[in-house]
Amino acid sequence: MKSNHIQHLYWRVGFGILPTKLKNLSKKKKAEVVNSLLKASDSVTPLTVDTADIQALLSGSLETIKANRMKVQKLSREKTKQLNVAWINRLSNTDEILREKMTLFWANHFVCKDNNFLYAQNFHNTLRKHALGNFKDFVNAISKEAAMTKYLNTKQNRKQKPNENFARELMELFTLGVGNYTETDIKESAKAFTGYSHNLQGEFVLRQRQHDNTNKTFFGKTGNFSGEDIIDIILEEKQCAKYICEKIYSYFVNENLDQSHISQMVNTFYPDYNIKKLMRFVLMSNWFYDDKNIGTKIKSPIEFIVGIKTIVPFQFKTNKRLLYLQKLLGQVLLDPPNVAGWKGGRNWIDSNTIVLRLKLPSLLLNNAYISKAKEGQEHNVQAQKAMFKKRFGKFYQTNANWEFFNKNFKSVEVESLVAHIISCPLNPEAATYLNTLAKVSKQEYCIQLMSLPEYQMC
């Protein structure tokens, strides 16, 4: 398999690839490489932080639990921050890379957040569990998650007064897309999800007294439909498969949809809705590796941060700085902006974030800019470093593992770093600039490459 195709594959299903692994995989055929990725992600490793203190507050009488509500919320905020950091670390160090990237994708599809950490963590791991499974099982599991029943008000959905929020978003955002259902379909399907709730431990409960057991007419069919029945009927619509395939294509292949490719994906995905089978088809397709799809995606803030960590692992001296950085870049894991999630693409970049992105590699890895010193100007460069360290140091205090970089890039010549770090073609100005850096250290050259506009793409 071609090296640039392997790099493209690993940027789309992960966050880059190191030289030794790239060299080993380049000796294998595409089917071997793709199958190894899929096999590594067959296992599911839940991501958790210790919740014993929250569980203790939620035990005892109902009065005690109510009295502890504020303490639970405060602890939940801290635990959410811990899970955020743990997820970043998982993304930058896991064999189950495709499952983790799929979890990141689905987190922006089945958008949800909750102020009870137990529910939020369960929801997060439900995404991970079903990320490469059966989409029908996935939707049913999501519909019964405590965090989702709270987020989209299914808990308030009772036969006396149906709440349509979940039914609307189920079709608009989760399965069919805008315009592929009627207002009557929303009203009728909302009745089928009445009574959906959970106990204090976050386990699903169907409250029979609140459930509407009358006939509903949905998509031209009439019956005493349950929530599961509604999902079955939705998935019978080929539009559902098309909608999901378009979102996967946009995320993993190209924002500019090729309907002939989408059609091939739909024929693979429908009617059994096997996500792993669909991803194998996409990653094995020749068009996935077309030049027009390589280096054309703007990295999300998480892809950008984890991509840097893949090449030069680093840790913030205080975790709150990692969260602060995500906020500055516009994507805080576990804290989506609304039910539609992050728009992505060009929306990741504005006049503020692009400036920060271009500065970030040097801020994270050396607490200052590194620029090539002309003869006799070494003092000025040191002064510049000191100035940036004073200005940004408290926000970007990190420990960068350059030993890891030196070990993994030992056999890579300075001039060859471009092929390992940059995904898209360099513009002439960037190429000319890099030629002036030919004699700098490998570390400095690496940071300069990460500081190019081209590094924003994958």
**For the segment 312-349, what is each residue's pLDDT rounded down to a tens digit?**
999 999 999 999 999 999 999 999 999 999 999 999 99
Start-to-end CA span in the chain (Å): 19
Mean of all residue pLDDT scores within the chain: 93
Per-residue model confidence as pLDDT tens digits over 350-373: 999 999 999 999 999 985 444 443
Contact of 166 with 190, CB cutoff 8 Å: yes
Residue 199 is encoded by which pair of tokens? 């106990």
Give 68 or 45, the one with higher predicted confidence: 45
CA dist 43 and 256 (Å) reads: 32
Q: Is the pTM of this model over 0.85?
A: yes
Residue labelled with tokens 């979890």: 103
Helices (H), 112-223: 117-130, 135-143, 146-151, 165-169, 183-192
CA dist 189 and 247 (Å) reads: 24
CA dist 404 and 270 (Å) reads: 44
147 pLDDT higher than 80: yes
CA dist 193 and 207 (Å) reads: 10
59 pLDDT higher than 70: yes
* Average pLDDT of the segment spanning 151-179: 97
Residue labelled with tokens 């400095």: 444
257 pLDDT higher than 60: yes
Contact of 49 with 79, CB cutoff 8 Å: yes
pLDDT band at 233 (very low <50, low <70, confident <90, very high): very high
pLDDT at 366: 83
User: What are the boundaries of each domain within the chain?
Assistant: 3-40+238-293, 301-456
pLDDT band at 374 (very low <50, low <70, confident <90, very high): very low
Contact of 342 with 336, CB cutoff 8 Å: yes
187 pLDDT higher than 80: yes
- Percent of the chain having pLDDT more than 90? 86
pLDDT at 65: 85
pLDDT at 387: 58
> Residue 318 is which amino acid?
T
* Average pLDDT of the segment spanning 168-197: 98
Residues 6+ apart with CB under 8 A from 37: 9, 13, 97, 98, 283
